[in-house]
Amino acid sequence: MTGTTKHIAFIFDLDGVLVDTARYHFLAWQRLAQELGIHFTEKDNERLKGVSRMQSLQIILELGNRQLPQAEKEALATRKNEWYVGYISRLTPNDVLPGVVDFLESAREKGIRLAVGSASKNAMTILERLAIKNYFAAIITGHDTTHAKPDPEVFELAAARMQVAAKHCVVFEDAAAGIEAAHRAGMLAVGIGRAANLSQADLLADGLHDLTVERVLTAFEKRFLTEKNIKDEGLHS
């Protein structure tokens, strides 16, 4: 793909990829669950990764076999978010995960377009506090979408905003739902985190510190050429 990186885009999930705010989400959800008398563990919290706020609340209510009116659920979700915003208000640029800035700089130097695709409605606040917002040509948040991952909407919107074809996009995700969403959008998926949770990813790494842009582009080129060969074989069969 030498010389064509200007037609490629990288789309990053936020939590767990660029910054670790998952702990704050867990603490806020656990506090809410305790108020409702529902036992909620870190293992339960894995089900909430990449999922919208209201869907996350619904999962917790199901854990406690609870049903509540919509108005009450919205009030609970708002309360959880207020606690979470309180936690993230303490974020600084020092909270960016290792290797993130170097990776973003390297990609930008190669002319690769960058975007964030996150279910978080607090994504703008977090990016501003981390001082990395200006790296991204497009930022899609929970305010922009109506369907949560594994629906591909968030990534499709990011690609459209950058005017890049979906097949030329690479998604960086730490959740299985995000990997599925990337594939449903027709994009290459890079799994960030434990392999056991991301078995469907096209490429795996512990974090962006464990990756180079060149390695990602090699994986992208390999898939691109494989798909081209399959297509060519189909035309000549």
Q: Which residues are catalytic?
A: 13, 15
Q: Is 163 left (phi over 0), alpha (psi -120 to 50) or beta?
A: left
Query: Burial of 140 by CB count in 10 Å (0-12 exposed, 13-18 middle, 19+ buried)?
Result: buried
Answer positive or negative: Cα dihedral of 80, 83, 87, 88. Answer: positive
DSSP secondary structure letters along 79-131: HHHHHHHHHHTT--GGGBPTTHHHHHHHHHHTT-EEEEE-S-TTHHHHHHHHT
